[in-house]
Structure 1
Amino acid sequence: MFGGTWFPLIGSLLVVIASAVRIALRVPWRRVLLEAVFVGYVLFAIDMSLLPVRFDAVMREMYLSSWPYWQQSVNFVPLRTVVAQLSADAPPTAVFQLFGNLALLIPLGVLAPLVIPRLRNLRAFLAFALSVAVGIELLQLLQKVALIGWRSIDIDDVILNTAGALLGFGVWRLVAVVRSRFADGAAEDARLLPDPGVNQTTPCEVDSGRDRA
């Protein structure tokens, strides 16, 4: 079996080393931290969706001899799995899996626009998120064809992953708009404040000067 708990540990170590090198090269630490979080999330998503890879003789025999198993583990009918998982008699694990697929790419929607500026456009991000979701399913399909993967291939996973990514993008966009308006308001307040370098004359001081004249 390839994968397991060592994968995120080694990945985290590499992220720390790369971050230290970038800081030594005088890259702003906030940028380094953001990139480290993004790469860490990507490693987590890979671990959750593609690992572990199993080299199991029993599983290979089951795949090769059981066509019904293939039929049950591959679905190209949109929303069929979602409807089944939301039915009254669905086990709690099915509902958990549904929301897990929805949540998997939510961080991508928040982090990707911050790290990759060209993904701050909705259309560009939608194409990117859809490509990532389809890519995950294609890699899972290749694993299954190579008899080293055990996850099901489901068009509903693509739909849920993409929807989750768009949800995360909406959160990022909302925060960006709020921050922009707050910054604009602060700049307007600063513009209206008197310049401390300019001598301000009050009406009382003007009247006092006239009396002396």
Structure 2
Amino acid sequence: MIYFIGTILFYLLGKRKFNPFSHLINITFLLYIPWLMSLTIFPIPIDSRLIQSFIETNTEARNSFIPLQTISMSISGAIEQGYFSGFIKGILGNIIMMIPLGFYLPFIKPKLNSFRNILIVGIIAATSIEITQKVISLVIGASYRSFDVDDIILNTIGVLLGSIALRFINPIVKRLKDDIEDNHSETITS
């Protein structure tokens, strides 16, 4: 809502030219962020009985600070016991949920278009999510989400894959951008 109000004010004041493609990117990115937060941070358990239940039943999330430990356990569980839901959620889910970030970054901040910059932002974003989960767990007194170094690795891979995907489909995206802007220009001139 704030984005829409700010955008309208900028146009009414003549500070900015309307760019429909840019707004499409901004709006979809603003929809992506709450979705990502709903997967990684929320819901936060605030009911004291639920928190106490986590502690008493020993169902608190387990932290993992050893690189590749959780990944290898997920892969071996999928191969040996046919436990594919853990593999899909644990490995593929952590990669897939961060692909849009790698896709959006060059649009939102063109300076971030290099592999190095995308990698750095991916590591920072993934680490921020894990640290936020750990801090919230400390505040509520129970680990409702785990801090897992493998999540940082997988999330960063997802960001990099999003950036790589954009490079492959960039000609299509540029054509779409040009079409949207041309249609908008024709609408204004007619």
Alpha carbon RMSD of aligned pairs, Å?
2.7
Q: 1:16 to 1:128 in 2, by over 3 A?
A: closer
Correspondence for 1:137: 130
* Partner SS state of residue 81, structure 2: coil
Q: Which letter maps to 2:145? A: R
Offset, 1:140: 0.3
| 2:86 equivalent to 1:94 | yes
Q: Distance in 1 between matches of 2:37 and 2:166?
A: 22
What amino acid maps onto 1:89 in structure 2? Q
Partner of 1:21: 8
Q: Does 2:37 align with 1:46?
A: yes
Correspondence 1:156 to 2:150: yes
TM-score, length basis structure 2? 0.75
1:83 to 25, 48, 72: 72
Alignment of 1:1-213 (within 5 A): 14=1, 17-18=4-5, 21=8, 24-25=11-12, 26-62=17-53, 73-87=62-76, 88-89=80-81, 91-97=83-89, 98-147=91-140, 150-176=144-170, 178=171
Higher relative contact order (CA 8 A, sep 6+): 2
Q: Where does the alignment leave 5 or more consecutive residues of structure 2 unmatched? A: 176-190
Runs of 4+ aligned residues of structure 1 deviating over 3 Å after TM superposition are: 15-20, 22-26, 62-66
Aligned equivalents of 1:22 and 1:84: distance in 2? 53
> What CA distance in whole angstroms lies between the structure 2 residues aligned with 1:54 and 1:100?
22
* 1:36-69 deviation line (CA, Å, top 9, x unaligned): 1111111211111111111122333255568x66
SS of 1:166 mapped into structure 2: helix
Count of aligned pairs between the two proteins: 165
Q: CA deviation at 1:132?
A: 0.2
One-letter code aligned to 1:124: N
Q: Is the CA contact (8 Å cut-off) linking 1:54 and 1:149 kept in structure 2? A: no
- Sort the Cα spacing of 1:104 and 1:40 in 2 relative to 1 into closer, same or farther, 3 A: same
Amino acid at match of 1:169: S
Structure with bigger gyration radius: 1
Structure 1 segments unaligned to the other structure (5+ residues): 1-13, 183-213
SS in 2 for 1:52: coil
Shift of 1:17: 3.4
Deviations 1:70-117 (A, max 9, x none): 6x6100011111111111226333112121111111011111111110
Rounded to whole Å, the distance in 1 between the matches of 2:9 and 2:109 is: 17
Q: 1:202 matched to which residue of 2?
A: none
- The offset of 1:151, in angstroms, is 1.3
* CA apart distance, 1:179: 6.2
